[in-house]
Amino acid sequence: MKQFFSFLSKNQADIYRILLFVLSTFLVIYLLPTGGQFKYNFQKGKPWQYENLYAPFSFTIKKSESELEAERKNIRDNAIPYFEYDEQIVTQGKDKFEELLTTSYVDSLFQVEENTIRTVGIQFINQLYRFGVTQEVTRYNDDDLIYLKKGNIIEEITFAQITHADEIPKEIDKLITQKKAESYGDLLKILLNRSITPNISVDRKLTEASIQSELDAISPNQGIVEKGGRIIAKGEVVEGNTYQILNSLQDEYQSIVWSKNNHFWLVFGYAMLVSLVFLMLLLFLKKYRTEIYANNTKVTFIFFNIVLMVFLTTIVVKLDANYVYVVPLCILPLILKAFFDPRLGLFVHVLTLLLLGFIVPNSFEFLFLQIIAGIVTILTVSELYRRANLFTSVGQITLVYIIGYFAFFIIQEGNVFSMQLENFGYFVLAGLATLFAHPLIYLYEKVFGLVSDVSLLELSDTNSKLLKELSNKAPGTFHHSLNVANLAEAAANEIGANAMLVRVGALYHDIGKMENPTNFTENQLSGFNTHDELDPKESATIIIDHVINGIEMARKRNIPDRVIDFIRTHHGTSVVYYFYKKEEERNGSANIEDFQYPGPTPFSKETAILMMADSVEAASKSLKEPTSSKIDRFVEKIIDGQMEQGQFLNANITFKEIQSIKKVLKKKLNNIYHLRVEYPE
């Protein structure tokens, strides 16, 4: 048991990566669609690349979505509406007419008997209410059929047979003319207008139920392909009905393949493919990004982003596959480039798209557009901390999407007339969503403790609280740090290292000297050296402690670990040589470990550059009457000495790059001292 726990302790980093690998694979498999993959890849408008295809089994030909939508529209456009007939209003109208007539009729005023007027009025009301009166404004034409519902009886009539409320005065005038009732026409008009009210209204609930019943009855199929029937021949263009038959075969194949009997095998197949993708990522990190591979936080960050993109795409596809291009996948290479490097960003982007190929429709078109957009993202966003660069990149990404989609549409449809403009809106939305990269980067920095170029830009501000404190407490050290920052930045640009990171590391590398600023010669203004009265060991301890003090100070101020690495490594395991020799002269011998920095040695190009620039800049102050040749020899001596001590063995830096750094440092120092090349006499 003890050996087992010892094994776990020694290999906990590898065990964590294995668990992360398994968990990520499981999550992606869970998000993948529950269906097998069709073994043929085809595109509308392109030739069939395989041998003649015959139906492996009988299956129905499904209607396309456009055909189904046309049928639905036709049903709604031609649906016969239902109108509700209210008998009670008719009865109330007659009663009201008779009541008004009784109270309004005076024998001496009219030559016609009351019963005659009553008979004419009631006949007119019955005639008007034969099919009813409505006051609703509708879209129906006179010839359109409608269903009139009287209680439990439904009658089919034309819309023209219904009287509209606005037409009642006109109908009354016609009645008066027909009955030659001019003598009592005014009374009849008043009584009928007050008695007749609309009694018909559209029964929208019943109408919609009828329409829905017809919609539900639509058949999704339009025919059958018998087993053994030829579907398409090699070289034949995939279009029209053939394209729909192939889609139907693909859907049927996937539904048949995904069954209880072979569920295990399908999951096993998906597991192997997804595992291969994540395995390629780990192998890439182990071989080409060793520093990232050794950092489980960074590996977790990369895996998390891949699973997140798969999750978002899956959700969108399940809601509506038409919105798949709204998912801002270009954020992934953008964020990885901000925290790591462009090559890793593009590599992870491509691997993620390989996984998404199982999920999205038209996978070839999707992969093509997204890979091109990812490449554009990597190539265009050079400095993410510059806001204009991100906006320019978003515009270019959107343009690439639009051009690519336009080209695919022409290839597939052969024209541009049926193109739907709203599809271009999806690409614009995807581009705008890419702007979310900035707040997402900030969130990731807080959650995962990573550092982006945006944060480095903020840290490089010399008016920040910590650097302002350094300039006040240790002005000589601050000036030295600025000079080192300029030298290191120029050297980093020369060999393609992260110049912004090197500059920030240089600005903060000596903040530990604020603890005892007068113990360092650059801050001794009076000419009095405190080390003259101290034991060499004690002096060496004070000098060495500025590294430890700097690390503690940086952690208290929440300086990122990536910057603290420069404080930790800028002296490596070198020796405080001056006090070592002083101790040796005084006692005849000295223990080198008492005068040696604790390390570690630089483990990246950037930290190695800072060590060279720091040593060269500090030592250059001791040059008396500097000349170009003196500076050249001086730079060569210092950096060669560091190489002999093995300070750069873990820094992943080449001899060629070191030579380039030497060249830049020589040039910069010559400029600082305003020297020219010495010409022979």
> For the CA atoms of 623, 626, 627, 628, what is the dihedral angle to 10 degrees?
60
Q: Which residues pair with 163 in a beta bridge?
A: 133
Q: Which CATH architecture has domain 453-672?
A: Orthogonal Bundle (1.10)
Of residues 549 and 253, which shows the higher confidence score? 549
SS3 222: strand
pLDDT tens column, 94-142: 888 888 888 877 665 666 777 887 888 888 888 888 888 888 877 788 8
Query: What is the rounded CA–CA span in Å between residue 588 and residue 413?
Result: 91
User: Model confidence over 236-251: pLDDT tens digits?
Assistant: 888 878 888 788 777 7
Q: What's the mean pLDDT when you consider all of the chain?
A: 84
Q: CA dist 14 to 286, 304, 305, Å? A: 12, 18, 20
CA distance 27 to 19: 12
pLDDT in tens, 416-425: 776 777 778 8
CA 559 to chain centroid = 29
pLDDT at 679: 47
**Neighbouring C-beta atoms of residue 601, cutoff 10 Å:** 21
| CA–CA gap between residue 171 and residue 194 (Å, rounded) | 14
Q: Which amino acid is at 651?
A: A
Predicted confidence at residue 44, as pLDDT, reads 75
**By mean pLDDT, which of 245-254, 259-268, 335-344, 642-651 is the weakest?**
259-268
The CA-CA-CA angle for residues 663, 668, 670, to 5°, reads: 95
Residues of the chain with pLDDT > 70, as a percent, come to: 91
| pLDDT for res 174 | 83
pLDDT at 273: 92
Q: So what's the pLDDT on residue 36?
A: 57
**What residues contact 674, with CB distance under 8 A and at least 6 apart?**
none
Q: What number of CA atoms fall less than 13 Å from residue 550's CA on the CB side?
A: 29
CA–CA separation, 482 vs 479, rounded Å?
5
Sorting pLDDT into bands at 50, 70 and 90, what band is 379? confident
Q: Which of 87, 88, 95, 104 is nearest to 122 (CA)?
A: 95
Q: Tokens at residue 561, please?
A: 């670990």
What is the Cβ-side half-sphere exposure of residue 194, based on CA atoms within 13 angstroms?
14
Longest dimension (CA), the chain: 153
User: Alpha-carbon distance 170 to 189, whole Å?
Assistant: 10
**156 pairs with which residues across the strands?**
147
Burial letters 29-43, b for 16+ CB under 10 A, else e: bebbeebbbbeeebb
Radius of gyration of the chain (CA): 43
Distances (CA, A) of 360 to 140, 354, 378: 43, 11, 23
Of 555, 551, 543, nearest to 567 by C-alpha is 551
Half-sphere exposure of 85 (CA within 13 A, CB side): 22
* pTM of the entire predicted model: 0.64
The whole-angstrom separation of Cα 475 and Cα 469 is: 9
Examine the pLDDT at 200 and tell me if it is beyond 70.
yes
Tell me which range, 166-175, 210-219, 448-457, 506-515, is most confidently predicted by mean pLDDT: 506-515
| Other residues' Cβ atoms within 10 Å of the Cβ of residue 107 | 8
Classify residue 377 by burial, with Cβ atoms within 10 Å: 0-12, 13-18, 19+. Answer: buried
Summarised one tens digit per residue, pLDDT across range 656-677 is: 999 999 999 999 988 877 654 4
Higher pLDDT, 383 or 492: 492
Amino acid at 428: V
Range with the largest mean pLDDT of 448-457, 603-612, 621-630: 603-612
Q: How many residues does the chain have?
A: 681
Q: Which tokens hold the place of 432?
A: 């705008």
